[in-house]
Amino acid sequence: MTFDFDQVFDRHNTGSTKWSRYPADVLPMWVADMDFAAPPMIIQALQKRLEHPMVGYSVAPDNLREAIVADSGQVRLARRAARTDLPAGVESGFNMALKALVQPQQNVVVQVPNYPPLRHAPGHWGLHKVELNFDTQPDGTYATPLDTLSQSLQGGGALLLSNPHNPLGKAFPREELQAIADICLEHDAWIISDEIHAELCFDGRKHIPMAALSPQIAQRTITLMSASKAYNIAGLKPRS
């Protein structure tokens, strides 16, 4: 299927968050909202659903969970649909996980720079945040300072991981993910992994889900994914 990425859409007066914040002569580039149309099959599925006139309260059908697990990118994460939950979004997911899993006296480690809502999340629950800077390597790449990570997770807590990383674009190699996971297992810390950009790897880079490393790591990992970035459908979720 071909797709026209050159077609221009005027999004003014459509309720677009991106295009409503500034005057019409300003080109907004402040949010991850692409100005491409959603894929035709998504539009067609929405149109088909709207042929039924009732739009009351709904639940996720079992075949949706099964489709998520059966997808080639997800089957490595979960073998049973019962392990797949559907929060309102990735932001809701990592906030729910922090509230449920981390105690007030424990640390929440966030690698920086990072997505602001992820950096702010520990503060919503009165949790102590440790911002962990990457080590810049001679070749210009970024590496996790493992010793500092280990020190920061003494006593448990959680690591808020962004993989692939936002905004660095870093796709963590398996060896680094394994080293990070080993530290978290050693300290009984949770890994809350935001993997929303999993399908946007280019230049030969490959996304490796943290939970795919081993069953033991999967038991300590909350993996958060969404179709919103890869398919530009961020508006198709509940908003407060």
Residue 122 in contact with residue 104, Cβ under 8 Å? Answer: no
The C-alpha angle with vertex 216 and arms to 211 and 219, in degrees rounded to 5, equals 65
- The whole-angstrom separation of Cα 238 and Cα 191 is 25
201, 171 contact by CB (below 8 A): yes
Q: What DSSP assignment string belongs to 48-99? A: HHHTS----S----HHHHHHHHHSTTTTTT-SSGGG----S-HHHHHHHHHH
Most confident of the following: 9-18, 66-75, 151-160: 151-160
How far, rounded to the nearest angstrom, does the alpha carbon of residue 40 sit from its chain's CA centroid? 24
Give the C-alpha separation, 153 to 133, whole Å. Answer: 15
User: pLDDT, tens digit, for every residue of 120-143?
Assistant: 999 999 999 999 999 999 999 999
pLDDT in tens, 46-83: 999 999 999 898 887 888 777 776 664 544 454 443 45
Task: Name the pTM for this structure.
Answer: 0.86
* pLDDT value at 230 more than 90: no
Contacts of residues 81-89 at CB distance under 8 Å and 24 or more positions apart, as own/partner, are 86/60, 87/224, 88/237, 88/238, 89/226, 89/228, 89/237, 89/238
At 32, list the tokens: 């991850």
- Domains of the chain, earliest start first: 87-231 (3.40.640.10)
